[in-house]
Amino acid sequence: MFKLNGKVAVITGGGSGIGQAISKLFGQQGAHVEVLDVDGRAAADTAAAIVAGGGSAAGAACDVSDAAAVTSAFEQIVTRTRRLDILINNAGIAHVGNIERTSEDDLDRLYRVNVKGVFLCTRAAVPTMVKQGGGVILNMASIVSFIGVADRFAYSMTKGAVLTMTKSVALDYVKQGVRCNCICPARIHTPFVDGFVKKNYPGREEAVLRELAEYQPMGRMGTPDEVAYLALYLCSDEASFVTGQAYPLDGGVLNQ
């Protein structure tokens, strides 16, 4: 079960954190993994780790907010692999602030990566999936797609858009065999979170990390591997009847 043998998976933001965990797991499960990341070195390192473990992978730099870069990356991948079975739209950035502390530049920056990036990559992948008779798109949304979280105005806006894009793509392409779902995590402990806390809460890192953990009723943050396991199910043939759905992975947040 949950094998991905013969499938080609493109994973954005695969150089670290959740994207890296998904990339490595998919490689272990038999997929050829194309790792894309704005940090080309990080993408290459993830791909090298997959290959060292006996898998098949390649890594490349790609800014998902740049239409030309996305088009070029996907064209090169399809030219080499001749197919595209799975797209994980994982690349994303965060921001702290309510609407008064969100500048126009902040809003535009988050929109370009978190919303436009999903749009550009999905638009680049869909024609190949339709042509070959099907495929799977999995977007990384957030628990804030469902509920409000203080001081996350711009981030919440973008993740709400990811949720509705997921449902639109699922509806538009269900007859062509393309499934589209999203995962909505609560706090996941990644190196990104550590860096984010250090930058935005200097001197309070330990207390803030404790607050982030206690936000979940389980009393801890999730792990990248836990997200990766759900991603594996949703992208596998075992989930062939699932489309247009948003899966919370929240440690009990929505039950509060």
Contacts of 249 (CB under 8 A, 6+ apart): 183, 184, 185, 186, 222, 226, 227, 230
Q: Is the dihedral of CA 242, 245, 250, 253 positive or negative?
A: negative
Closest CA to 86 of 243, 256, 235, 240: 235
Contact 201, 208 (CB under 8 A): yes
Helices in the chain by DSSP H: which ranges? 17-28, 40-52, 67-81, 104-110, 117-132, 153-173, 191-200, 205-214, 224-235
Q: Give the integer Cα–Cα distance in Å for 27 and 54.
A: 8
Q: Give the integer Cα–Cα distance in Å for 237 and 153.
A: 36
Catalytic residue among 155, 173, 201, 215: 155
Q: Does the annotation count 155 as an active-site position?
A: yes
Closest CA to 133 of 83, 75, 88: 83
- Secondary structure (3-state) at 219: coil
Length of the chain: 256
Question: Which residue has 């954190």 as its token pair?
Answer: 17
Q: Give the integer Cα–Cα distance in Å for 207 and 209.
A: 6
Please give the positions annotated as active site: 155
